[in-house]
Amino acid sequence: MIHLYLSGESPKEIGRKAEISPKTVIRHLKKSGTQMRTLRESMKIAGHQGKLSRIQNPASFNHSGVMAEMYNAGSSIPEISVQLKIPQSTVRYWLLKKGVVLRSRNESLKIASEKGKFSSRKGTTREFTQEWKDNIRKARIKWGHENAKGVSLKPSGYFEITTGENKGRPLHDVIMEEHIGRKLAPNEVVHHKDKNKQNNAISNLEVLTNSEHARLHATENHIFMERNEDGTWKKSSHINR
Q: Which of 150, 143, 186 is nearest to 166 (CA)?
A: 150
Q: What confidence tens digit (pLDDT) does each residue in 107-162 have?
A: 888 888 888 776 655 556 667 888 888 888 888 888 877 777 788 898 999 999 98
> Hey, where are the domains in the chain?
2-36, 63-114, 147-213
pTM to 2 decimal places: 0.38
Q: What confidence tens digit (pLDDT) does each residue in 59-106 have?
A: 334 567 788 888 888 889 998 888 888 888 888 888 888 888 999 988
What value does the mean pLDDT take over residues 33-51? 73
Looking at domain 63-114, which of 1.10.1740, 1.10.10, 1.20.58, 2.40.50 is its CATH number? 1.10.10
